[in-house]
Amino acid sequence: MSTTLFQHRDYRKLFTAQVSALFGTGLTTVALGLLAYELAGADAAAVLGTALTIKMFVYVTLAPVVAAFAHRLPRRSFLVTLNGIRGAIVLGLPFIDQVWQIYVLIAILQAASAAFTPTYQAIIPDILPDEHDYTRALSAAQLAATMETLLSPMLAAAALTLISFHWLFVGTAIGFAVSAALVLATRIPHSTATAAGSFRDRITVGLRIFAATPRLRGLLGLNLVVAAAGSMIMVNTVNYVRDTLGGTQSGVAILLAANGFGTMLVALALPRILDRTDPRPVMLTGATALVLGLAAAIGLSTAGSGDWRWTAAIAIWALIGAGTAAILTPTGQLLRRSAQPGDRPALFAAQFSLSHLAWLLTYPIAGRVTTAAGFTATWITLIVLAGAGIVAAQRLWPRHDPAQLTHLHEIGSIDPARLLDAEQVDATHYRHTHPYIIDTDHPRWPTRRELAMAA
Ligand SMILES: [Zn+2]
């Protein structure tokens, strides 16, 4: 994150508003897990799995719709209202005494969040007209969302050692109030509308780039690995600690903190490593760590009793946190490398939807299979999915993945003025070399045979 980006006062306020709201939502999720356990006991995994599935469903369906209309709304009042709704819902959560009430409140809470994010994203280009700043802002948003998912459990864990979980909801509501105040203090220009095209157009462009770019096809597999291991952490920690390990609320906090600690360690160390290393081996190592973590968890779920299981569980939860960070930290860079500046918002939006789809698949598994068949069966199901994801990533994303590709263009298929440093190689083809990115001039990736012909 450059200093110049955060020198924009309005952007800084809006970004802080987004981050406070994100963490508010994240803390709610943790408090919700404990609330589910209070209401459902052994069935908490099913309750949590369903609640988180509702969240993902609302995100995947509602966010695109709101995004398509975001430019027509009075945006500042809309954002403030959404924060107000979320704050009110959160304050209501401690008074819940029925499981179905959790589902209703979560649906409303997440609908407000799903509407907030695309509206926020639509405002950013109006505040930051500079393309370079805007791209950096997209990465900052992606990183903030990632860090939220990973760090809020740890924050919640720390808070829980001091206060009861009902107070977490109050902290969350304060987060939304701060967010609303910051939005009120921001000058938000009227929408420049039309510029970026409808969300549906943007999402189609993003999906097309995803489908055509080998390294992004690999990322699809990695999204699945992250969701498989992450669902185990998010949905199963409460029950595993309380029912299997015989621990308490602070035991839940310790395991979640171990997970967050692993994440933070890797997220902090990685930027320097990524300056020197390709993202592929880093991300595949992360995926391997996640599969190993799941395998160890399966082993642990079949082990007898004994306090050593605590130590083992802490190590496994930390390993999964570390593996997750190794995949998520380089993701923004991967997306930036794979699209022209104008297509980047579309590509980030596509990654948002596609990664949520993976969670939409794994959350219900972690919830339902656990209550029906126990941890061992659940984690075996999740490791099969994670294994499929890692194999797909390895096969779809070639080991040799240079930015520059020497390739051919058929004469007549492209305006010669756009052919930088091209030389004519035969009667029908030009050849040139530049960073290869899917765009109007390069609608698909060259096949191995085409690359050999160009060499
Ligand atoms: Zn070209």
Contact of 27 with 109, CB cutoff 8 Å = no
Q: CA-to-CA distance for 328 and 131, rounded, in angstroms? A: 24
Same structural domain, 305 and 430: no
- In this structure, the answer to whether residues 158 and 267 fall within a common structural domain is yes
pLDDT of residue 2: 47
Q: The domain that contains 275 carries what CATH number?
A: 1.20.1250.20
The predicted structure's pLDDT at residue 65: 76
> Cα(441) to centroid of ligand 1, in Å?
7
Buried b / exposed e along 277-290 (16+ C-beta atoms within 10 A): eebbebbbebbbbb
Looking at the fold, whether 226 and 141 belong to one and the same domain comes out as yes
The SS3 assignment for 407 reads strand
Instruction: Give the end of a domain, one of 379, 396, 413.
Output: 396
Residue whose C-alpha is closest to residue 324's, from 275, 277, 282: 282
Residues 419 and 447 in one domain: yes
pLDDT at 191: 63
CA 393 to centroid of ligand 1, rounded, Å:
26
On whether both 293 and 433 belong to a single domain, the answer is no
Q: How far is the CA of 419 from the centre of ligand 1 (A)?
A: 7
| Å from CA of 434 to ligand 1 middle | 7
CA of 220 to the centre of ligand 1 (A): 25
3-state SS class at 424: strand
Whole-angstrom Cα distance, residue 327 to residue 363? 19
**Rg, Å, the chain Cα set:** 23
pTM, two decimals, is 0.84
Q: Are residues 344 and 431 in the same domain?
A: no
Same domain assignment for residues 130 and 42: yes
* Ligand 1 centroid from CA 88, angstroms: 54
407 with 441: CB under 8 angstroms?
Answer: no
Ligand 1 centroid to 102 CA: how many Å? 53
Q: What is the pLDDT of residue 156?
A: 75
Residue 453 CA to ligand 1 center (angstroms) comes to 14
Domain shared by 184 and 330, yes or no: yes
Distance 234 CA to ligand 1 centre (A): 44
Q: What is the pLDDT of residue 153?
A: 67
pLDDT of residue 310: 94
Q: What pLDDT does residue 302 have?
A: 92
Helices H, strands E: what count in the chain? Answer: 16, 3
DSSP summary character for residue 71: G
Tell me the three state secondary structure of residue 198: coil
The closest of 356, 358, 382 to 370, measured between CA atoms, is 382
Q: Which domain holds residue 409?
A: 404-454
Total domains in the chain come to 2
Q: What's the 381 CA to ligand 1 centre distance in angstroms? A: 43
**In this structure, are 343 and 446 located in the same domain?**
no
Beta bridge partners of 406: 433
336 alpha carbon to ligand 1 midpoint, in Å?
18
Q: Write down which residue in 396, 416, 431 finishes a domain.
A: 396
How far is the centre of ligand 1, averaged over its atoms, from the C-alpha of 133 (Å)?
26
Mean pLDDT by 10 residues, the chain (455 residues): 72 89 79 83 86 86 74 83 91 87 88 83 78 74 71 72 79 89 85 56 82 97 97 91 87 85 85 86 98 97 88 96 91 87 79 88 94 95 98 96 90 76 85 91 91 87
Task: Determine the residue type at 331.
Answer: T
